[in-house]
Structure 1
């Protein structure tokens, strides 16, 4: 079984639960174990929240950021066999060069910090995660995958 979908979303907070609900609905209908579905929805929410917060600011040569263009972001999900791969790509300034090229957040956030835990959380939830910049087009790409477990009554597995 193979399912995939792609969304182009506005860089607005309301886009995050929309993407999450679509993922959860797809997983439920496919028969994915609810715990795996929940974990992936948390990771997707974190990636989308980062795209909403950081994904539309274009960098200027002087290093300043501009929010003049609201931009958007794209979410693509693939369920292929026993693997789910999710990719969130935005059109913002991307990740700083140091620390992100090898799929790692640049630093571990403080435990009491309000921001900065999303990428670490994605790494903990996913079986594999990578964080990088879109070559030539600008923007960040967060991708992660996880091996799926199925409910015993999964309709698409038994078909």
Structure 2
């Protein structure tokens, strides 16, 4: 079984639950275990929220006003990618952490936990920039588990 979809969304807060509901609906229809669906939907919400908040650097109506979400359910794996056209992550400093590396966040901080949460919820995470383009890319994978009698289980 293989399902794939891609969304081109405006950088508006209302786009985050739209992407989340589409992912949950896709996984529910396919028969993915609800706990896995929930984890991936939370991770997707965090990645989308980052794209909405940080993903643009142009004026109204310009290319920085949108971001893209792509999801692949292929066999036993789900891969989700969220990319934007913003400034991206700072370049790696020799001897320093890689771009998008986890950083310490104060318990009192109102933001800054999204990438850490994505790392906790997914099995594999890649955070970087699109080669040859401005913008950040957050992609993450998770091994799927299926409900009993799932309609679209890979055979």
What is the TM-score normalised by the length of structure 1?
Answer: 0.88
| Equivalent residue number for residue 77 of structure 1 | 71
CA distance in 1, matches of 2:128, 2:154: 37
Where do 5+ consecutive residues of structure 2 fail to align? none
CA contact (8 A) 1:108 1:120 kept: no
Task: Classify the secondary structure of the residue corresponding to 2:153.
Answer: helix
Deviation at 1:55, TM superposition (A): 0.3
CA distance in 1, matches of 2:7, 2:140: 17
Deviation at 1:100, TM superposition (A): 3.8
| Equivalent residue number for residue 11 of structure 1 | 11
| Equivalent residue number for residue 61 of structure 1 | none
Where do 5+ consecutive residues of structure 1 fail to align? 59-66
Residue of structure 1 aligned with 2:119, choices 117, 123, 148:
123
Deviation at 1:158, TM superposition (A): 7.1
Task: Classify the secondary structure of the residue corresponding to 1:96.
Answer: coil
CA distance in 2, matches of 1:151, 1:100: 37
CA distance in 2, matches of 1:100, 1:13: 28
CA contact (8 A) 2:76 2:154 kept: no
CA distance in 2, matches of 1:135, 1:90: 12
Any residues of structure 2 matched to 1:133-144 within 5 Å, and which? 133-144=129-140
CA contact (8 A) 1:100 1:131 kept: no
Q: Could you list the runs of 4 or more consecutive aligned residues of structure 1 that deviate by over 3 angstroms after TM superposition? A: 67-70, 98-101
CA distance in 2, matches of 1:71, 1:43: 22
The CA RMSD over aligned residues, in Å, is 1.5
Q: Are 1:104 and 2:97 an aligned pair? A: no
| Equivalent residue number for residue 113 of structure 1 | 109
